[in-house]
Amino acid sequence: MAYIQTDVLYTREYRDDAINMGKAESFPYYPATAFGATAFEEIKTAYRQGYTYIRTNNPDRDVLAGLMTRLEAPELEAASTVLSSGMAAITATAAALLQSGDHILSNRCLYGETIELFDFLFGKFGVETTYVDMADLDAVRAAVRPNTKMIYTEICANPTIDLVDLPELVKISKEAGALLVVDNTFCSPLSIRPLEWGADIVINSLTKFLSGHSDILLGCVTARPELVEKIYEFSLFMGSPADPFPAFQMIRALESAPMRIERQMSNAAKLAAYFETDPRIVKVNHPSVNSFRQRDLAKKLWKDDEKITGMMSVEFCTEDDAKIDAFMKQLKYVHYAPTLGGMRTTMSHPVTSSHNTTPDDVRRAMGITPALMRISVGIEDIDDLIEDFRQAMSELE
Ligand SMILES: Cc1ncc(COP(=O)(O)O)c(C=O)c1O
């Protein structure tokens, strides 16, 4: 028998030959930074098809990547790689597939940090980005350059919920010889699968709807296996493969994601229908309502109004800070939070948060006024949710 310190390091007694060892009801958490081996042959085999070092590969990340591929591309030849955040997924994608002298053609309305990433990080390394309003397809065609290697957009824009005509963008990107990259965070694969429409790469911030519990930071890229391989290789250099713990939590979160997100999307459509009837709401930005400016495009991309997105924005009848504050304080359940996709309904005020550095005239041209509030709809009982908004409306008068 060894001394106590050695003993606690090397003794591992458990039923590793138990008949049901590989059948745990939940997939185990593997925090190990490495997997050992006893002989050269075993080491060589492990490098080919086993587990070696935590940043290189990990069972929790593998299970999660497999699930994401099934969600985003069940019928296609595709793969996924799981990264430490949505931003890490966007960074690794662009870093792996672009080089100095290349051009990104991007939608004008994007998550603010994606714009900063393109301008400041990729700009520094000689990749130029130009921005167009992708609702205007002629503007997109006119902005394509001979060196355009990537066309980048979110599926619906934050916070105005502007949609993109995916099939038309696919045509433009094919003609340009550029990769079409779609950030699907606002909709998720439970709503739309951009790869099935012909996009080349889909990115999800798993931090949002797909995790749903507001306690996970992760991102994922899904694409043809050869593209994912390149992105994965780059993520290794950048040190951005996901830590196993959030990946483990995320496997659990995905088990209920379809039920949660379907409820969020259907609640959003019902809430939008209610807002349409209230005179204190002057504009409802949700693709399910008839007044939505891209309603025809919404019908082209989605068959069911209750399965589009849990995100929306509304314009109040007032820009008065004090009245909006009183309204927010009057709400019993709904509250401010600088995130989206959680199970509780949350709101954000773009003018004071995501777009606080954008000049007022530019914001207004984009449809973002001080009266605009973004809503991420949760899974509450819809009657409670509508009643919460209804009882606070008089504060806006
Ligand atoms: C549309 C969109 N894409 C990407 C991101 C970045 O994701 P993460 O915070 O997981 O890095 C966000 C974050 O809010 C987002 O809204």
CA of 230 to the centre of ligand 1 (A): 22
pLDDT at 347: 97
Share of the chain above pLDDT 90, in %: 94
In this structure, the residue with its CA closest to atom 9 of ligand 1 is 86
CB 151 within 8 A of CB 139: no
Tokens of 69: 């591929």
Q: Is the CB of 309 under 6 A from ligand 1?
A: no
Q: Which atom of ligand 1 is nearest to the CA of 89?
A: 11
pLDDT at 158: 87
Mean pLDDT score of the chain: 96
pLDDT band at 396 (very low <50, low <70, confident <90, very high): very high
CA of 257 to the centre of ligand 1 (A): 18
Contacts 24+ apart (CB under 8 A), 70-74: 71/189, 71/190, 71/193, 71/254, 71/257, 72/184, 72/189, 72/193, 72/194, 72/195, 72/202, 72/204, 72/222, 73/193, 73/195, 73/196, 73/202, 73/222
Ligand 1 pocket test: pick from 111, 202, 221 the residue with the most ligand atoms within 8 Å of its Cβ.
111
Q: Is the CB of 137 under 6 A from ligand 1?
A: no
According to CATH, the topology of domain 54-252 is Aspartate Aminotransferase; domain 2 (3.40.640)
List the chain domain ranges. 54-252, 257-396
CB 233 within 8 A of CB 96: yes
Q: Is the CB of 85 under 6 A from ligand 1?
A: yes
User: Residue 112: CA atoms inside 13 Å, Cβ hemisphere, count?
Assistant: 11
Q: Is the CB of 217 under 6 A from ligand 1?
A: yes
pLDDT at 366: 85
Q: Is the per-residue pLDDT at 141 higher than 80?
A: yes
Q: Is the per-residue pLDDT at 1 higher than 80?
A: no
Per-residue pLDDT reduced to its tens digit, 367-384: 899 999 999 999 999 999
DSSP label of 294: T
Angular region, 161: left φ>0, alpha ψ -120 to 50, beta rest: left
CA 375 to chain centre: 16
The Cα–Cα gap between 169 and 174 comes to 8
Q: Is the CB of 154 under 6 A from ligand 1?
A: yes
* Whole-prediction pTM: 0.96
- Match domain 257-396 to its CATH number in 3.90.1150.10, 2.60.120.10, 3.40.50.800, 3.40.720.10: 3.90.1150.10
Per-residue pLDDT reduced to its tens digit, 31-61: 999 999 999 999 999 999 999 999 999 999 9
pLDDT at 358: 85
